[in-house]
Structure 1
Amino acid sequence: MAFDPMAAAIDWFDAYRTGDIETILQMYTDDAVTECGCERVIIGGRESLRSYWVRRLKEYPASRLDDLKPSEDGATILYVARDGIVSASLEFDDSGRIAVHRCGPMK
C-alpha cells in the first residue's frame, strides 16, 4: 500500500468523532460494503451508506479512541461509543479508500 492505513483509520475516526459526514463518505469507494454488527445490517451503495451514517452519527456518536492495530488489508480501530467499545475493521483499496468496513461491539 502506498498510503498509511493507520493514518487513514485515524482520519476516518476523526471525521466520525466530529460528525463530518461528507468527509466520511468521501473516504469510501463507490462500491464499498459496510457490515454493521451493532445494527445487524449490510450496507452497499452511496445512498444507503449516507443513510447509515446519518443514523450512526446521531445514535452512536464516537467519543474517544481506545486502540488502533494494523491488519492485513488496513487497520482495526477500537473506539468508545454510547454503549461501550466498538471494533471497526477498515480494508482499503490501492488508492487508500475504504472498500470494506466491518464493525460491531466488543464482547
Structure 2
Amino acid sequence: MSFDPMAAAVDWLDAYRAGDIETILNMYADDAVVHCGCDNLTITGRDALRAYWVQRLRDYPASELDNLQPSDSGTSISYVTGNGVVSALLAFNAAGQIKALSCGPME
C-alpha cells in the first residue's frame, strides 16, 4: 500500500480538531521543522514541538476544513480557527511522517 499525503493531512487535522496531542506528535518525524507564521516561530525538537502544540490546542483550536489540495512537496490544507482561516503546507518524508509544516493566516 502506498502513502497518501492527502489522507495524512486529513488525519492530522482530525487529530488537531480532537485535541489529540499524542497522535499529532506521532505524525511528525524526529527531525521535523515547523514554521508558524501566526506567531512568527520556527520549532524544532520534540520538546519544543510538544510545547507548541499544547499552546496551539489551547489558544487556536481548529474547527472545520476549508480546503485541501495536493502540492509538489506534500499537501496544502486550510482550516478554520477562532482567529480565522489558517493555511498549512505539510511535507512528508519517505516513511509518511511530517518532515516540515509551514502555516500561517490566509491572506
TM-score, normalized by length of structure 1?
A: 0.98
Moved over 2 A (4+): none
Determine the structure 2 residue equivalent to 1:79: 79
Structure 2 residue identity aligned to 1:28: Y
Structure 2 residue identity aligned to 1:5: P
1:82 shift after superposition: 1.0
> Number of paired residues?
106
1:78 shift after superposition: 0.5
Is structure 2 residue 24 aligned with structure 1 residue 41? no
Aligned partner of residue 94 in structure 1, secondary structure: coil
CA RMSD of aligned residues (A): 0.5
Correspondences of 1:1-107 after superposition (within 5 Å): 2-107=2-107
C-alpha separation in 2, matches of 1:103 and 1:13:
13
TM-score, normalized by length of structure 2?
A: 0.98
1:67 shift after superposition: 0.4
| Uncovered stretches (5+) of structure 1, i.e. residues with no partner | none
C-alpha separation in 2, matches of 1:49 and 1:12:
14
1:73 shift after superposition: 1.8
1:20 shift after superposition: 0.2
C-alpha separation in 1, matches of 2:10 and 2:73:
15
